[in-house]
Structure 1
Amino acid sequence: MQDKLYVYIVSDSIGETAEQVAKAAISQFEDVKYIIKRFSYISDSEQIFDIIEQAKKFRSIIIFTTVIDELKETLIDECEKNNIEYVDIMSSVMNSLHSVLGIEPINEPGVIRKLDERYFNRVEAIEFAVKYDDGKDSRGIKKADIVLIGVSRTSKTPLSMYLAHKNIKVANVPLVPEAPVPDELFEISPKKIIGLTANPIKLNEIRQERLKALGLNNNASYANLDRILEELDYAEKVMKKIGCAIIDVSNKAVEETAGIILDIMRENGII
């Protein structure tokens, strides 16, 4: 086993970066037999001493990505005492960035993973908003962080997507007099539900524009003022029965309405 190279990956986070760098570098040398040992979430000097005890028995190199100064200094000191080759991947890059940016690094382990987790949570929330848009599947109501209800063209979908980009899972349900209200809306806390309404004149204008965009006759009942008044009246009754908060979106940008929703949800202890 002595002819093999032992590569010790040491990190105060997962250590994936150091391992990938090590593999990429070793691949440039032909016929090298090696064993990679990864030590993740190193948090104290005793762990480093144990790693050094192992490493000094073999032909070894230690590659590390720790950003905690105390651990880094201990690791370097122990490697030099025991004549073990080491590579500090992070320091040279961070020192150069510090020189260019003129600010100190935060030296917090695992930051990139936290960013990755936020990214994947956002993707999951966006996929959720698409899957449970416009009442496609009422099962999403119980899974959602927030449920938006309202008549057509009250910004349910744009709000769902906007909130999804803030890692919030949103389902939205259209309220139509001829369609039964999903039972699930009465099986969750009304604090998770936001009712959206609008001025009937404004809604009439929006729906007429929508019909024009679709190349349809704007005399359709969809944009008829009496029909809109009927829908709004029906929606209000449903919202009051549920007991949820109601927001008039008539003259509000999506960002403004989203801000109000977030404030309500924080007050309700939902997010």
Structure 2
Amino acid sequence: MKILVIGGTGLIGSQLVELLEQKGHEAIAAAPNTGVDTITGEGLAHAMAGAQVVIDASNSPSFEERAAMEFFQTAGGNITAAEIEAGVGHHVALSVVGTERLQDSGYFRAKLAQEDQIRRSPIPYTLIHATQFFEFLRGIAASATEGDTVRLPDALFQPMAARDVAAAVADAALAAPANGTIEVAGPEAFRMDAIVARVLEHDEDPRHIVFDPDALYFGVSLDDGALMPGPDARLGATSFDWWIANVPPPAKK
């Protein structure tokens, strides 16, 4: 089966391509650096020709509302039009657990608009709502840094390894369209300030964590339910302890 992976050279997309190829499928990585641009439409129709499934693992390069909204709406419109032309039978999109509860953020308003656009499309679909990736914990620290201090809330969440996200998306792509949402999450729940502190300690990062009940998560005030999955979420197998001991941090620039 031919499967087009939009965002196929990114963190999740590259692992998806590898997983799908291991399962015997023709997985095509679609990204600007492979000649496919979902904003301009360049190369999209050619890459999608003959594809039975399209996976959208791409993300807006900006968290600013106007830029994110423009990205998701423009790319989404171009993808849907190309899918209709190519006769694609299943659209799979990666999104975030709690998107509908995080609407104080312009970025998450844009994500919800993306999801609504997918639901309105005539293409059968599956939405994957994933919790935050372990690989994103350093980004959470960066977003909350003031000097040598990282101010974070102690909100409960259930992050997961990127490889488990990729596995869940691959499984969904090879199954029948759910025409609904599947939640995936890590095997353990953590307090945000505590787990980010463990990452910084592991990295021998001199910044220190300060618990601040008023600290915002990308502009959103969190309670213990905002980022948590529901009781039927599918849980990844990779523990945080294994991940921190075995997955090297990104190379410093």
Compute the TM-score of the two structures, normalised by the length of structure 1. Answer: 0.26
- Specify which structure has the bigger relative contact order, considering alpha-carbon pairs within 8 angstroms and separated by 6 or more residues: 2
Of Structure 1 and Structure 2, the greater strand share is in: 2
Greater helix share, structure number: 1
